[in-house]
Structure 1
Amino acid sequence: MAAQFINCRQCIGGKLISSPLTINAEGLIIPNNPLPPNTTTIDLKNAIISPGFIELQINGALGFHFAHTKPPSDYSAGVSKLAHYLPSTGVTGFFPTVPTVSSSVFKQVLPFLAPREEEGAASVLGAHVEGPFLAPSKKGAHDASNMFIPSAASLEDVYGEESLKESIRVCTLAPELPGALEHIKKLREYGVSVSMGHSAANFGQGVEGIKAGANLITHTFNAMNPLHHREPGLPGLLSSPSPPYFSLIADSIHLHPNIVSLAYRSSPTHCILITDSIELSGLPDGIYPGHAQIPHQQLKTGNKVTILNTDTLIGTCIGLDECIRNLMAWAGIGVEEAVMCVTENVAEAVGLRDRAKLEVGRRGDFVVLSESGEVKYGRRRRGDIIGAEFGDRVQYDIRLRR
């Protein structure tokens, strides 16, 4: 049964537009007139509707990490559990991210990360492979022993041809490495979006990466040469007349709030917020065991995870909804502007044509937000509303839950 959500304000192009939102029985947005027979009407009481958030880079949550091999049934269950958790943070689609691992691990896990749908869960949109073609000098927490110079290893040898065709949708690499530009061109032939990161590239090498087909920068400012007034490096690309899309971790751990605001204001239509969160996201604070990538005990305190008894940062556990609220506060913008960085901008960057905008013909995935960016309710296509009820309305095949 179709549903029309009335008395609401939609986030469209960075503005709040007062208009009903109508979704048909197949879960697609349709015109508000004429209505299909027996359409259910739901009053949102002047709430704000955003498209469902898209998470471009996430390593794991709830104790599950996409790079940790498990028996096939356990790995698949871990992906499913995480996909069901993410809508609580407003996320209705995500790119599971695999950092630098051995070729055998890439080939083992990538088949499970191909695009897929599951009722009541965020959509798996395909894998984001962050490595292994990265600069060892900017490796961060990545394992340098598994890194490759692009000219020394083909994409097919590292990932497998089938995964390049079926699973991988985004790849982060360092454009200055020998053979990197050829890899960028080949990745684009496979339909993979290419992001530049974990890189010691100078500005000119970044320009060459863009000419070859890269159109993104991964967690800007982190794991790359800093912005310098004579050699701006990859961050200098943000102010270009036609800038690449660029992602930011707005957690006040990886970046100072003023840097986040500075980057956002350089090009609001190209800014993307990511969490880059690790497997301890969604778990209580405390001490957790290490693993193959981090062979030390881990201390989780709020969003920050460090190696126990040190100040060494392992990663963050922030949710994408909190990143939005941080950007709102730091850049002094409204929720309707901030959500572009997790919806429309992401769709444009990676070529999503079926979601992330509230327009006729797209999927009816949406999130209901407060003025301050708190997630109140969320709807996944084909009938789930996640959150509290709107008055007594519980209908049209909708399941309501906390």
Structure 2
Amino acid sequence: MEVVTGAPPDGAEVLTDGLLTPGLVDVQVNGAVGVDFAEVDPEGMAMVARALPRTGVTRFLPTLITAPVPVAVRQAHAVLAAAAALPPHAGAKPLGVHLEGPFLSPKRAGVHDPALMVAPGAAEIDVLLDDEVLRRALRMVTLAPEQPGGLDAVRRLAAAGVLVAVGHSDATGEQTRAAAEAGARMVTHLFNAQRPLGHREPGVPGVALVDDRFTLGLIADLAHVGPDVCRLVFNAAGHRVALVTDAVAAAGMPPGRYQLGGADVLLAEDGVPRSPEGTIAGSALTLDRAVRNIVSVGVDPADALASATVVPADAIGEPTLGRLEAGAVADLVWWDENLQPRKVWVDGEVVFDRAAAFESEAVGEAVGVAAAGQ
């Protein structure tokens, strides 16, 4: 279903308060609610699809971290098969696949395994683009353009319609600009796992902040990037910021041990997933909370919401997502005055209703109490 103009039909729901926006679009999701996309099956994909609308997300891009190229291809096919198996109106909808690696820099590995990283040579890119199923679904590749063959890989992937992002990169400012010249159009998790901003050598962030060709992925949990710097990013380039969660299986779960690409991730009481060595490993962030966090640092709510809707939708080439206009997909979020999702629609169908969920939980608790009293 799509957005149309004109008088509302008979029986239409009329909203008299709150805020109505397009559905949120998250282009970097490694997993959630205990599910790691590196080892996903149809049941796990369905769990994520059901859970994400509670956070306002209606479309998401499953992300796979560094693995050997043949393994990454196998994992991508498993993600696509699980997505294809989703029943109608299951919840949020996957948008394809984002490969965050293995074409990264060992110097900026983060929690990715440097031993599994390879240069993006012609043969490696052939494997991705010669796989017809994967080529149609490969929406985004994060790579380090300074690696041998990096710029040629950017050109080939961009020519194939893939969004190329600079990330996990030790690129200088000059090399980052060269990546843009070759067709790169995004930066993955700005400031994290990349050559830092310097006042003489701008690194990846410095060029990204001033080069209008880049969309800036930002993890706004206020741990990956501090509040003042988040505000600085919006002051400098707010119209190009795409809020992402970089969520891992720990998102939406209690403290404990989870998986990210087959490696252990520990979620502590502070809500930040880390490797056993203490390195931040993705996030447990939800995209609605990212919006609220950005509003809390002084960004206008309209700009914060744009960065979670139209900006990421445009970045991955989805002109009917992330906007309220005739012809757009009918993905909608009705928010309360505290920017908490009240009701969410995907393709015009309700996939989350907070009031109904609370009522169902209350009935369940009452049944439990009655059973305990018998």
| TM-score of the superposed pair, with normalisation by structure 2 | 0.88
1:316-360 superposed Cα distances (whole Å, 9 cap, x missing partner): 201111010000011x13322211001011122111022111010
Residue type at the aligned position of 1:31: T
Contact 2:110–2:281 (CA under 8 A) maintained in structure 1: no
SS in 1 for 2:235: helix
Alignment correspondent of 2:105: 135
Contact 1:110–1:127 (CA under 8 A) maintained in structure 2: yes
Distance 1:233 1:401 in 2: 51
Alignment correspondent of 2:31: 60
* Structure-2 change in CA distance of 1:79 and 1:228 (3 Å): same
SS in 2 for 1:67: helix
Note the aligned Cα RMSD (angstroms): 2.3
- CA positional deviation for 1:67: 1.4
SS in 2 for 1:41: coil
* Structure-2 change in CA distance of 1:211 and 1:85 (3 Å): same
- CA positional deviation for 1:253: 1.4
Aligned counterpart in structure 2 of residue 306 of structure 1, from 274, 277, 291: 274
SS in 1 for 2:15: strand
User: Does 2:291 match 1:319?
Assistant: no
Alignment correspondent of 2:16: 45
Alignment correspondent of 2:146: 176
- CA positional deviation for 1:155: 1.3
| Map 1:274-289 → 2, pairs under 5 A | 274-285=244-255, 287-288=256-257
SS in 2 for 1:263: helix
More divergent stretch after superposition (210-219 vs 182-191): 182-191
- CA positional deviation for 1:385: 4.8
Percent pairwise identity: 30
User: Does 2:159 match 1:189?
Assistant: yes
Aligned counterpart in structure 2 of residue 111 of structure 1, from 77, 85, 93: 77
Distance 1:83 1:138 in 2: 31
Contact 1:206–1:234 (CA under 8 A) maintained in structure 2: yes
The structure with the greater share of residues assigned to helix is: 2
Residue type at the aligned position of 2:93: S
Contact 1:67–1:101 (CA under 8 A) maintained in structure 2: no
Alignment correspondent of 1:345: 311
Distance 1:290 1:189 in 2: 34
Residue type at the aligned position of 1:324: V
Aligned counterpart in structure 2 of residue 384 of structure 1, from 347, 350, 362: 350
* Structure-2 change in CA distance of 1:163 and 1:203 (3 Å): farther
1:297-326 superposed Cα distances (whole Å, 9 cap, x missing partner): 724324212345x64433320111101000
Distance 1:401 1:253 in 2: 34
SS in 2 for 1:314: coil
Alignment correspondent of 1:12: none
Distance 2:259 2:350 in 1: 36
- What is the aligned length? 355
User: Does 2:263 match 1:294?
Assistant: yes
| TM-score of the superposed pair, with normalisation by structure 1 | 0.82
Contact 1:106–1:159 (CA under 8 A) maintained in structure 2: no
1:77-132 superposed Cα distances (whole Å, 9 cap, x missing partner): 21121111100000000000000012232222212434757413111101110011
Distance 1:375 1:247 in 2: 23
1:4-57 superposed Cα distances (whole Å, 9 cap, x missing partner): xxxxxxxxxxxxxxxxxxxxxxx2111124x5xx53232211220110000010
* Structure-2 change in CA distance of 1:57 and 1:215 (3 Å): same
Distance 2:275 2:124 in 1: 35
* Structure-2 change in CA distance of 1:238 and 1:108 (3 Å): closer
* Structure-2 change in CA distance of 1:42 and 1:263 (3 Å): same
SS in 1 for 2:28: strand
* Structure-2 change in CA distance of 1:239 and 1:109 (3 Å): closer
SS in 1 for 2:333: strand
User: Does 2:166 match 1:199?
Assistant: no
Alignment correspondent of 1:86: 52
- CA positional deviation for 1:163: 4.2
Contact 2:50–2:90 (CA under 8 A) maintained in structure 1: yes
- Where do 5+ consecutive residues of structure 2 fail to align? 362-374
The structure with the greater share of residues assigned to strand is: 1
Distance 1:291 1:151 in 2: 26
Please list every run of at least 4 consecutive aligned residues from structure 1 whose deviation after the TM superposition is greater than 3 angstroms.
112-118, 289-293
Contact 1:131–1:172 (CA under 8 A) maintained in structure 2: yes
Contact 1:387–1:401 (CA under 8 A) maintained in structure 2: no
SS in 2 for 1:128: strand
Distance 2:61 2:261 in 1: 22
More divergent stretch after superposition (173-182 vs 106-115): 106-115
SS in 2 for 1:111: helix
Distance 2:68 2:334 in 1: 41
Alignment correspondent of 1:16: none
